Each structure stands twice: as C-alpha cells, then as structure tokens.
Structure 1
C-alpha cells in the first residue's frame, strides 16, 4: 500500500471539500460566516416559540383596547314588518292589516362601569404577563441557538484536531515504511502494521467528525428556521476566554435572578389578573342600572270597517328615556362556580410562582458551579496539552532511535489527541455555561 500517495489524495480531497464549502456563501441563497451574536439575533426573530408568544401578545393588546368600549354606550336597532292577511270584510275589529316599526335604543351602563374597570385591569395584567413571556421566550431561543452554535464549533475543532492527528500519523507511517524497507533493524513489521492500523483509524475518526459537524450545523439551521445554506465563523479560543471578564458572588447572582427573571414577573401579573377577575365577577351579585334613551317610529295601515273599506295611515314617533334596573337574584350558582374557578387558578399560580422561585435558584447555582469549574480547569487543560505535545516530541525522537515501539508512540499520540479534544470541549462547555448563567439571571444572552 502506497501510504504516501494515499495521504496526499486524502489531504487533496479535504482541500477540495473545504474550497467548495467556502464558495457556497457566494450563492444568493447562502448566509456566510455567521457569528455567535448573529445566530442569537436570528433566533430572537425566527424562533417559532418567540413568534407564538408575539402573536399572543398582539392578541391581548387588541383585546385590552376593545375592553374599553364596554365603558361607553351601546346602540341597538330593531325593525319589524308584519301583515295580517286573514282580515275579512265581515269583521270590524279595527285591527291593522300591515304594521311597520323601527326602534333605536341607546344604553349607557352605570353600575357596570366599575365592573368593566376591573375587566380592563385584568386585560392589562394579562398583556403585561404576555410581554414578560415574550422576553422569556427570546432568552430561551438565544440560549438554545448559542448552545447549538457552540456545539457546531466544538465539532469543527474536533475536525481540526483529527486532521492534525492524521497528518502526524501519516508522516510517521511514511517514515517508518521507508526505514523498514531500507532494512533498519530498529523498525519491525509490527511497527509498520500498527501505524497502518492507526492511520486507518484516524481516517474513520476524521470522517465521523466531518459528519458530526454537518449534522450539528443542520440542527442549528433547522432551529433558526432558515432555508438558506449557512456557514459559521468559528473562534479558536472560547468567547469567555477572549473577553477575560469576572463574575459576581453567587449570593449576589441569586438575588439578581429573583428580581430579574421574567417568569416570576409573568406569574405575578397573572395572579393580579385573577384577583381582578374575581372582583369583577362579584358584581354579578349586585343589581345592574343602565340609562337608556330610545326612539321609535311606527307606521301602520288598517281597514276602518267592512262598509267603509277606506284605508288610513297613522305614523307615530315616540322618544323615551330613563333608567333600567335589572337584578339577577338567583342564577343557580353559576357566578359562585366561576369565582371558585378563579380562586383555584389564583392559588395554583401562587404555588407555581413559589415553585419557579426554587427552580430559578437551582438553575443559577448549577450554572454558576459549572462555570466556575470549567473556568478553573481551563488553565490546567492547556497545561495538559502543552505537556502532551512535549511528550510526543520526545517520544518521536526515541521512536526514531529504536528506544520506543510503535504501540508506545501511538499511546502518546492518543494522549495528545484526547487532551486537545478535552480542551476544546472544556472551552465549549465554558461558553455554554456562561450563556446559561446569563439566561438564569433573566438577562438577554450576549457575547459582546
């Protein structure tokens, strides 16, 4: 097997794939070099959950505005046209044979104005709750998009690590093959076979890493609801590592989360809405008084008698106004049942608020502890990579001199690859927990 030639073919194929991938942004249907901030902004606008929350908010805004009309008067129109074809000449009942009437009634609620004010307050609280819910969905969308993006970046880093490993193993294989074929007694058939196996394993590992990147990018694209092809702009270091910021004490963060999380504010407004709903339903026990004014127009035709079939017309116009009193003394418990339902919903919301408070505390503590752990171990992971690189250099020297077998060299190579993967994974986890920590505090996740 000509591994040198095969190695060149693999590298050339990878370069062709990379060039083609780099040329895709030139397509009008492609979006190129998306950064993490850009991905979060797209998720902020395109997320299905965000759009659903925005739709609910728009509905509640319109509903609140329409509720104000209940404070004003209502106008009712009624028209009637009737005939009496059964009238005969032998009767003298003076009964109209045709009747036309139109009535317009204007009604202004009096006692219901106070009741409707509580309805308006209920709608306002629900609208505010929806506003907070929209912000919460935006935070969740940005958090999820960031996680998917960083996972894609991790897959990209793995490709770079695997490709570097394949290159190093390929070079070592070619050198071993040359020495073995030249009769070097320090290189055995076993050394050659082990390196051949390791090289094939590196090919499989690289291929798997490429597919992993493709799948993670496709998952991100699906979440962003994009039909265009996308390419991502990756960073070598973690975003937190590049910013080199500091975070506050855990107790300070917990207090900030209690005051900043929009889920709590959402529930508080829903509880207030149920209070208003209960109060406004209590008015159903009281009498309703309305002011009314009506205008009636009546035009009828009749036959005066059978002897005198002449027809007379007498249009009448009537204006009335006054107060209308209506008291529903017993409704079969309908209002009481509605109030019990409202009280039950309010109590459940209070429990949900308490439950959410504990959940928020847990999210903050977990995100904080994970972040501190990854941040503390970052420098150690870098040291492991540096030590492993030095160990590989020394091992390669000893391998050339025959003091190290191929299997021992492969172990050192594997240790270096694993240390690089662990460092890349730690950097990804550091960024993910940083975003999660921001989200747990009720902040819009950002990198810059």
Structure 2
C-alpha cells in the first residue's frame, strides 16, 4: 500500500509540475509582451526617435555656426629686387612664412521666416510619425488577436475532437464486448475502428495546426515565451456599444483621419515655407583672428603680426530667380489642395467601412448566439441517441451521425465565437478605441 501511495503521489506531482510549466498567456499579457517585444513596433519606435531628433532645436537653423580655421605657408624663392636709387639686390633661396588662426561666426538673423516654418514642419512631422507608430501598434494588436483567437479556437477544437475520439473508443470497446457475448456481429467493431482512425487523423491535424498557430503567436510576441504555453479561451461580449457615439469617434479618432489632418497641417506650412523665398535674407558674420608673416630680406619689414576682431552684416534679396519660387509655391498649393480632396474621400471611405464593420459585428454576434443555442440542441440529441444506442434502439450509423453533428456544432460555435470577437476589434480599430479598451 505504501509503495502504491508513493507512486501515486509521484505521478500527481509530475502532472502538477507539467501544468505549472505551461505558462498562461492572457490577452492582457499578450498585449504587454507585443508592445515591448514585437519587431515591427520596435522599428516604429526608432522612426519616432529619429523624428524627435529632427524636430529638436539643434536641427532648426536658429542657432549660429562657429568655425575654427588655421593655416601655415612656407616659401623658398629666388628674388631680384630693384630700388629707387638704381641699385638692385639678388636673393637666392630666400625664405618666408605665414601663419594664421581664426574663429568665425555666422548667424542668419532673418530668412523670410522660412526657418520658422521649416522648424514647425519638423514638429508636425514628428507628430505624424507618432501617429504612424500608433497605426503600427493598432495593426499589430489586430494581428496579435487574430492569431491569439486562432490558437484559442484550435485549443477548443482539439478538446472537442479528443472527446469525440474517446467516445469512439468507448463505442469500440462496447462493440467488442457485444461481439464476444454474441449480441452483435463483427461489422459494428469494424465500423468503430474506422471511426477511431478518422477521429485520430482529425486530432493529429488539429494538433499540428495548433502547434503552428502557437509558433505564429510567439513570433508576434517577439519569441519571448516558451514553446509550450496555455492561453485563455474566455471571451466577453457584455460590452454595449452605441453606434452614433462610435461613428463620431471614427471622424475624430480614426488613425487614418488623424494622419491626413496632420498631412494637411504640414502642407499648409509647406506653402508658407516656399513663399518665404520672396523675402530677403539678413545675416551676421564675425571673426576673431591672428596672423603672422615672416618676410624675406627683400621686404622692408622682417615680420608682421596682426590680431583683431571683425564683424559684418550681409543683406541679400533674390528679386527674380527665373520663376522657380513661383513654381514651388504653386505646386505646394496644389499639394495642399490634393490633401484636402484625399481627406474628403477618406471620410466617406471610413464611414462606409464603419457601417460595414458594425453590421458585420452584429451579424457575427447573432450567429454566435444561434450557434450557442444550436450546440445545446446537438448535445441533447447526442445524449438521447447515446442512451438509445446503449439500449440497442439505434444502430451505429445513427449514433455516429449524432456524434458528428455534435462535433460539427462545437466546431462551428468555436469559430463563430472568435470571428465575432475579431469583428469587434475591427470595429474598435476603425473608431480609434482599440488601444483604450480592456483586453
């Protein structure tokens, strides 16, 4: 008895340990892992960092430039010099040298406000990049749950197929007993064996699909979870959405609408930036330098040293540049007009997509509820058929049909449940609310 108890305890501990080893990935945890580890989201974050750098004051053109310069020259000349008194002097291999160093400052005081508009464009572009990153995150969330719920569906399908296989095995055992006691012929056992083979093949295929789907899910999560894990199959449909409220959010928060609005802002600044070329440019220059010259014997001075500060103001105005500024302004205005046209088209498109998504969600939710009712009917039919089968009132073919009807109802229910949930996510994505809900 003690040995049996110890063996039983070990089996229970090993089984319990295998359950613990399988990490449970809830929807909330899956979203958290994706936000931190998904490769597409990581790349989108790097784009945002680059846009932030571009929108920094260091890239604005408002700061001056400061340049350090230094140089040296050495000359070895043969020189002949004639003086006013009629004498001359010949120097062979006369050496001379010059040295210089300076710090130069350049600063644009006014450039027709082009610098200001460009800086504002950089800031608007940064916000557009952040919206693009948000779009990547939203698309990744939808992709994540498409795969997540595919895994959940296959988990439930595997359970349903496994249950069907167990029932077929019980049926085979029963038919073998009946054959041994002369209550049925061998045909019943052969039919049961065929059904077991078919159910085993279905289980193998479903298991393979499940393993593949788990790998796909792990890839979306950045390969951060073990290969063997569990997920939650619970789905909540208790949320009641107001169609008009969601539609208003589509017009205000849809990611594509926000992006086109930001593009219009950028193009508006682009028109002003191109127009700034009509105005003059005023600049300031300054320099502090040191110069030394070592002259040859033909010069009046043996050497000279200059140290000093210089400053200047520059003014330039392109009165006519051949028409390029006029062309650039015209094209910038056309681009702005095209963005406004695209916005009108987009608003019509997203409203249409929202109405389609709303109807699709309501339809899939209704289908799921009907499938829930259908599975109760199929279960009731199977239970009664199973009782009659045990009493010998129905044959194996009728029993198998009831068994397959139940399996089909379970598979259809599983598919309908997750399709309805994905339709809900599509609706939330269009309304810009997918990142604001609890998973």
TM-score (structure 1 length as normaliser): 0.84
CA distance in 2: counterparts of 1:232 and 1:360, whole angstroms: 38
CA contact (8 A) 1:81 1:98 kept: yes
Higher mean C-alpha displacement, 279-288 vs 91-100: 91-100
Contact 2:112 2:279 in 1 (8 A): no
Partner of 1:442: 432
Q: With CA pairs under 8 Å and 6+ residues apart, which has the higher RCO, 1 or 2? A: 1
Contact 2:274 2:332 in 1 (8 A): no
C-alpha RMSD over aligned residues? 3.0
Aligned match of 1:301: 294
Q: Deviations over 1:397-421 (max 9, x none)?
A: 3333443221121111111110011
Bigger CA drift: 404-413 or 87-96? 87-96
Q: Describe the shift of the 1:395–1:369 C-alpha distance in structure 2 as closer, same or farther (beyond 3 A).
A: same
Question: Contact conserved, 2:257 with 2:346, CA < 8 A, in 1?
Answer: yes
Q: In the alignment, what sits opposite 2:7? A: none
Q: Distance in 1 between the 2:236 and 2:229 partners?
A: 15
SS of residue paired to 1:299: strand
- Tell me, yes or no, if the aligned pair for 2:112 and 2:276 is still in contact at 8 Å: no
Q: Tell me which residue corresponds to 2:264.
A: 271
1:47 and 2:38 matched = yes
Further displaced range: 429-438 or 80-89: 80-89
How far the C-alpha of 1:442 sits from its partner, in A, is: 0.9
Cα distance change on mapping 1:271 and 1:111 into 2, 3 Å: same
Please give the per-residue CA displacement for 1:165-187, whole angstroms capped at 9, x wherever unaligned: 11112112211221123212xx3
Distance (whole Å) between structure 1 residues aligned to residue 18 and residue 202 of structure 2: 25
Structure-2 separation of matches of 1:55 and 1:435? 27
Cα shift readout 1:119-142 (whole Å, capped 9, x = no counterpart): 111011001111222222212111
Instruction: Give deviations 1:272-315, integer Å, cap 9, x for gaps.
Output: 1222233223323433111223333322222353xxx8861121
**Aligned counterparts, 1:252-401, within 5 A:** 252-303=245-296, 305=298, 312-329=302-319, 331=321, 335=325, 338-339=328-329, 342-343=332-333, 345-401=335-391
Residue 237 (structure 2) pairs with residue 246 (structure 1): no
Q: 2:64 is matched with which residue: 53, 58, 73? A: 73
The structural deviation recorded for 1:270 is 2.3
> How far did residue 326 of structure 1 move?
2.3
The structure 1 residue matched to 2:201, chosen from 195, 201, 204, is 204
- Could you say what secondary structure the match of 2:310 adopts? strand
Distance 2:322 2:70 in 1: 34
- Counterpart CA distance in 2 for 1:57 and 1:259 is 23
* 2:399 is aligned with 1:405: no
Contact in 1 for aligned 2:151/2:214 (Cα 8 Å): yes
Q: Please say if residues 148 and 217 of structure 2, whose CA atoms lie closer than 8 Å, have aligned partners that are also in contact.
A: yes
State how far apart, in whole Å, the 2-side matches of 1:304 and 1:209 are: 101
Give the drift of 1:45.
Answer: 2.0
**Equivalent pair of 1:34/1:230 in contact (CA under 8 Å):** no
- Counterpart in the other structure of 1:60: 51
- Write the distance in 2 (CA, Å) between the matches of 1:20 and 1:355: 59
**Corresponding residue pairs, total:** 418
User: Which range moved further: 205-214 or 258-267?
Assistant: 258-267
Alpha-carbon separation, structure 1, partners of 2:233 and 2:305: 92
Q: Which of 18, 25, 32 pairs up with 1:23?
A: 18
| 1:82-125 residue CA offsets vs partner (Å, 9 max, x unmatched) | 23323414466999932223343323312227221111110110
In the alignment, the residues of structure 2 paired with residue 236 and residue 39 of structure 1 have an alpha-carbon distance, to the nearest angstrom, of: 13
TM superposition shift of 1:219: 0.6
Unaligned runs of 5+ in 2: 1-10
Cα deviation, residue 208, structure 1: 1.0
